[in-house]
Structure 1
Amino acid sequence: MSLAGLFPIDKWNFKTQSILNNLPENESAGLLPYMQEQRYGKGEIIFREGTRASGIYFIKKGKVKKYQVDQAGKEQIIYVANTGELIGYHAILAEEPYPDSAATLEESFIAFIPKENFLNVLENSTELPRRLLKTLSHEFTVLTNSISVFAHRSVRERLAISLIVLREKFKAETPEGKDIFINLSRSDLANIVGTGHENIVRFLSEFKAAGIITTHGRKICVKDIRQLVKISGYGNV
């Protein structure tokens, strides 16, 4: 089921897929030959917060969590990047260390683009800077929206929002007509919502009892998206 008219999904997803798509041939020629593809197993670290930024990463297949760790060692997942998205470029543009860490949520194939090649194309491009500026502006909107939700919405509402957003991410790889399964650990889900593991378990049980979701091991299938949107506090459903 489409979320059009039900939920403002664009406020929750970055648009980095558009950055490298169909670049002029002379610009893509400065990047594609230098992409170094690597397979990552589930849970592998791609880069760590505070380390020197040596390049950017293009997710050819898979899902990656971007997160920060507080002084108590607890993760806060900032964003889940999907197939086709770029990560790590903020640090390159700012000439600073990586501001967060990145790790795979599932087996992934990720291409690394060295900093020097990326900056060389950027400096000689007319199209790439425009796309980056547009994407960064949208990301600011997404992050501002996320901060507002964390400040003003309950855990129950935040969980509903997170399930809606995650459903869209897992929908991309699900054949049409098939059930969409969110394959994520309860710990990672808690770190996205910003709450404890026990709260996630309690509210998922409530949603399951209401027929909003079903669970198959760790996998979650949303059965009543309209009811989930209603719980999230968005839209008129």
Structure 2
Amino acid sequence: MSLAGLFPIDKWNFKSQSILNNLPEDEYGYLCSNMLEHRYNKGEVIFREGAVASGIFFIKKGKVKKYQVDRTGSEQIIYVANSGELIGYHAILAEERYPDSAATLEDCTIAFISKEDFLSALEKSTVLPRRLLKTLSHEFAVLINSISIVTQRSVKERLAITLIVLREKFKEGITAGGEIMINVSRSDLANMVGTGEENIARFLTEFKLSGIISTHGRKICITDVKKLIGISGCGT
């Protein structure tokens, strides 16, 4: 089921996939001419918060979590990036170190584009700067929404929103009518919502008993997205 007209997914989801979509062939070729492709296993760290920003990363296949670690060692997952998205470019544009860490949620194929190549392509391109500016503006709005739900919404509502957003992430490659399986650990889900695993387990059980989700091991399938949207309080 499409979320169109039911849930404002763009308020919660970055659009960095659009940065490279239909980029002029010569500009795309220049940007990617020297990129190095690497396969990462699930759980591998791509870059760490505070590290010198040496380049950007193009996710060709798989999903990556962007997160920060607090003083107690707990993760706060900021965003889940999908195939086709770029990560790491904020630090390059700001001439700063990476502001967060990134690690794979599943086996991934990711290409590295050096800082020098990225900045050179940015200087030569007529399209890329405008797209980056538009994307950064949208990401700012998404982050504001994400901050507001932590302070204004209950854990149950935040979990509902997170599951709806993850459903969009995991539907890629699923044929029409096929089951969309959200495959994330309970600890990662708790770190996305900003709560403890015990709360996640309690509300998932409640959703399951209400017929809103089904579970297959750690995988979650949303069986009634309309009810979940109702719980989220974010329906359009």
Please report the TM-score for the alignment, with normalisation by the length of structure 1.
0.98
**1:230 matched residue in structure 2:** 230
Secondary structure of the corresponding residue to residue 66 of structure 1: strand
Q: Do structure 1's residue 98 and structure 2's residue 98 form an aligned pair?
A: yes
Shift in Å, 1:18: 1.2
Deviation at 1:17, TM superposition (A): 0.9
- What residue number does 1:119 align with? 119
Any idea what the Cα deviations from partners look like across 1:154-180, whole Å, max 9, x if unmatched?
000000000000001101122222111
Shift of 1:20: 1.4
Q: How many residues align?
A: 236
Which residue identity does 1:46 align to in structure 2?
I
Instruction: Tell me, in whole angstroms, the C-alpha distance in 1 between the residues paired with 2:171 and 2:25.
Output: 31
Matches within 5 A, 1:204-223: 204-223=204-223
Q: Which runs of 5+ in 1 are unaligned?
A: none
Structure 1 position 38, deviation (Å): 0.4
Matched, 1:151 2:151: yes
Please show how residues 123-134 of structure 1 align to structure 2 within 5 Å. Answer: 123-134=123-134
Q: How does 1:168-183 map to 2 (within 5 A)?
A: 168-183=168-183
Indicate the SS of the match to 2:166: helix
Structure-2 residue corresponding to 1:67 = 67
Q: Summarize deviations over 1:128-179 as a string: whole Å, max 9, x none.
A: 1000000000000100010011110000000000000000110112222211
Same amino acid, percent of matched pairs: 74
* Residue 6 of structure 1: aligned partner: 6
Q: Which structure 1 residue ranges, 4+ long, deviate > 3 Å from structure 2? A: none
Q: How far off its partner does 1:12 sit? A: 1.0
Q: Distance in 2 between matches of 1:166 and 1:98?
A: 24
2:189 and 2:51 mapped to 1: Cα distance?
26
Structure 2 match to 1:164: 164
SS in 2 for 1:80: strand
* 1:180-205 CA distance string (max 9 Å, x none): 10000000000000000000000000
Letter in 2 for 1:170: F
Give secondary structure in 2 for the equivalent of 1:67.
Answer: strand
For residues 25 and 228 of structure 1, the distance between their equivalents in structure 2, rounded to whole angstroms, comes to 42
CA distance in 2, matches of 1:23, 1:6: 31
Q: Which residue of 2 aligns with 1:24?
A: 24
1:69-92 residue CA offsets vs partner (Å, 9 max, x unmatched): 000000000000000000000000
3-state DSSP of counterpart to 1:37: strand
AA at the equivalent of 2:116: E
Matched, 1:142 2:142: yes
- The Cα of 1:212 is off from its aligned counterpart by 0.4
What stretches of structure 2 of length at least 5 have no aligned partner? Answer: none
Distance, in Å, in 2 between the alignment partners of 1:107 and 1:198 is: 27
- State the alpha-carbon separation in 1 of the partners of residues 103 and 29 from structure 2: 28
Aligned to 2:109: 109
